[in-house]
A = this chain, B = another copy of it.
């Protein structure tokens, strides 16, 4: 998998596509006008409709079974199958879609029935989220935010021992494109003795990697670190929308609640471990003086291959920019290498006390800021707690999000000898509070 791979597809738009070449093939759930949501695979500017592919008898053996599990209105059953069937399906998909495929003529005949244009389709949440857990493994974010909330002890003593996480709200996880309503809530004005109620004035995004869980574990039985990757179905982008003023007032002692549970957006395509395999890296060595992970978090293979090299980008387009036809402007460029803990460590930690994971559970990584301001993954960090506004095209400024602002996340992997693999977008526009 780490060899060069420049295979091309007979679907011309896939070759050189910034997100969806033959080497990616992420899965998702889509609908075209007047038809029920169903599973599909992104290839260039098109979606391979898995229901139509099954009807055309394009798959064999285990791949047929996997395609059936992935062809409904949610991918949960497909996630539950695990890595084996997923790989077999991927191989048959690549064979079908590669240049020189013996099925090319038959597939072209089916036209938009089999391969509708993405532009004509709506994308949905790819799975029913059972439980959603948000981690906090971006160490630069933890440092930056810790400094704002707790100047005396930005990074708490447990941070380098525990992959810190907390439970989030599953019912408000939405697919990219869903508008996000500014929440009302209690906030405490600086110097005030009593809180007031109203629309959040410090609405923010958080740039995160999302992780879809595949096969689960029985309650009471931990997933060992060596097996942890087998329980991951795929990856996406995740925006952990946050109302900072609500959060500051409510979060002690039990953690964020209304500050986060009004919405969480994810990119709709599930990028598989197979597509990301060429972009695996060794975990960066821990800084001098940092403790070694406890044995249940330590695995040789994970140390050598557990990190992911994914570029993460935040863009913003205000209502004024949109009206004037000004393109979204980049606010940050970061990378998943800013994770202090790997995904395998997150899975192993989550289940080590016996917590049951299930296919369709979702993890967020926590905000993945880099060490420098141009890589900060939230406005809270980029504006130094709202003190230094960002300058935008047309003379606009932002400390926190205004109504009508659209936040856009993008992500991709690049390396020599391999086509670029992208995640697509995770978008959300802010609606005024009710």
Contacts and interface: CB of A to CB of B under 8 A. Distances in A.
A2 interface: no
A357 B197 contact: no
A393 to B, nearest CB: 30
Interface string A119-157: 000000000001100101000000000100110000011
A154 B382 CA distance: 34
B354 A181 contact: yes
Q: How large is the interface on A (under 10, 10 to 19, 20 to 34, 35 or more residues)?
A: 35 or more
A197 B220 CA distance: 16
A270 to B, nearest CB: 20
Interface string A237-271: 00000010010011111111110011100000000
B162 A249 contact: yes
Contact of A169 (B188, B258, B294, B355): B355
A164 B150 CA distance: 20
A183 interface: yes
Interface string A315-328: 00000000000000
A100 interface: no
A157 B249 CA distance: 9
Among A130, A131, A246, A431, find the residue whose CB has the most chain B CB atoms closer than 10 A: A131
Given A170-B170, A253-B150, A254-B165, A353 B262 contact: yes
A154 to B, nearest CB: 10
B262 A167 contact: no
Interface in A289-344: 291, 294-296
B355 A254 contact: no
B250 A171 contact: no
Contacts of A157: 188
A284 interface: no
Contacts of A255: 166, 251, 253-256
A196 B291 CA distance: 12
Contacts of A295: 197
Among A188, A200, A251, find the residue whose CB has the most chain B CB atoms closer than 10 A: A251
A412 B417 CA distance: 70
B355 A131 contact: no
**How many copies of the shown chain assemble into the complex?**
2
Contacts of A150: 253
Given A167-B169, A221-B434, A361-B171, A258 B353 contact: yes
Interface string A34-48: 000000000000000
Contacts of A243: 353
A172 interface: yes
B165 A262 contact: no
A292 to B, nearest CB: 10
A294 B186 contact: yes
Nearest to A361: B171
A168 B171 contact: no
Among A169, A349, A350, find the residue whose CB has the most chain B CB atoms closer than 10 A: A169
27 contacts: A131-B170, A156-B252, A158-B188, A162-B249, A164-B254, A167-B261, A170-B170, A171-B356, A171-B358, A171-B361, A172-B356, A181-B220, A183-B353, A183-B354, A184-B354, A194-B291, A195-B294, A197-B296, A219-B262, A220-B262, A251-B254, A258-B349, A258-B355, A261-B353, A262-B353, A262-B355, A263-B354
5 smallest CB-CB distances across A and B, nearest first, come from: A255-B255, A183-B353, A167-B167, A181-B220, A166-B254
